[in-house]
Copies of this chain bind each other. A is one copy, B any other.
């Protein structure tokens, strides 16, 4: 039977392989590591990269924490744990903010959660946030995710793509964070799928990150840009900040559960900006980008 230690060790190795691949593609930036210990149990390995050739600021975080199930989780799962039930949570979280506005921001999270009463699940997601939407990148990104999903179940890509559209959504702006990706949560065994099969799927997604994103970096990193592109990047990063601080459940959970603030907020860009009532020029690439920030765009044939 698949143990939490086995899952956690695999996440650690995923952090290693992703950091190597990103450093290689960046060819300048190096990850610096902070090991931290959680007073209530467990800890993590936070790796931050700054001021690279391609990556301006990014983090690839591994953690494995455990302890008593916190009260606010009991509320979410009222039938599940008796008091003194313990939990174990492990995963890898990534956000990469590139300096060139033609290179998209990316995020991935893969995680495993279990409680001492036997309840467990996998969750995760990966989504791409271009400052300027290049359709060929969005198609490549979604095709790659679909290919990885399809190896495990024909329903995963359509279901989890829709879930991502709904999750990575900035309600007050009525726009998606970017071109989406996939999102899934609380995947557990049932009559059709075993824990081992779900873990194989999560590994597949984890392993999809590095080849896909390094290719997207590679395609765009030498593209020229000007001052007005940088200004637009600041505004798009402002939206990213709005999403993460207002809507993102991981961020909220982390801050409310007294998590390690510097690790949680590594997702924020080095700089961001806001301009009152900014409206892009007609037929500009900025306006075109906004037209793609909608739910239910089919980037691949399903």
Contact = CB atoms under 8 A, between A and B. Distances in A.
Interface of A: 34, 48, 50, 57, 59, 171-173, 234, 238, 241-242, 245-246, 255, 261-262, 265-266, 268-277
A276 B172 contact: no
Given A241-B241, A245-B241, A268 B274 contact: yes
Nearest to A246: B245
Contacts of A173: 261
Contact of A255 (B57, B246, B273): B246
Contacts of A34: 277
Given A241-B241, A245-B245, A246-B245, A265 B269 contact: no
A175 to B, nearest CB: 11
Nearest to A262: B277
Taken together, the copies of this chain in the complex come to: 2
B48 A276 contact: yes
A173 B173 CA distance: 27
A262 B235 CA distance: 13
Contacts of A238: 268
A172 B263 CA distance: 12
A182 B50 CA distance: 39
Contacts of A266: 276
Given A172-B261, A241-B245, A245-B245, A270 B268 contact: no
A268 B246 CA distance: 14
Of all A-B residue pairs in the complex, the 7 with the closest CB atoms, nearest first, are: A245-B245, A268-B274, A172-B255, A262-B277, A271-B273, A48-B276, A172-B261
Nearest to A271: B273
B275 A234 contact: no
Nearest to A49: B276
Given A245-B246, A261-B172, A261-B173, A59 B272 contact: no
Nearest to A251: B246
Contacts of A269: 274
Nearest to A174: B261
Contacts of A241: 241, 245, 272
Contacts of A234: 271
A272 B275 contact: no
A34 B277 CA distance: 10
Given A242-B245, A246-B255, 19 more contacts: A57-B274, A59-B276, A171-B255, A172-B255, A172-B261, A173-B261, A234-B271, A241-B245, A245-B245, A245-B246, A265-B274, A266-B276, A268-B274, A269-B274, A270-B274, A271-B273, A272-B272, A272-B273, A272-B274
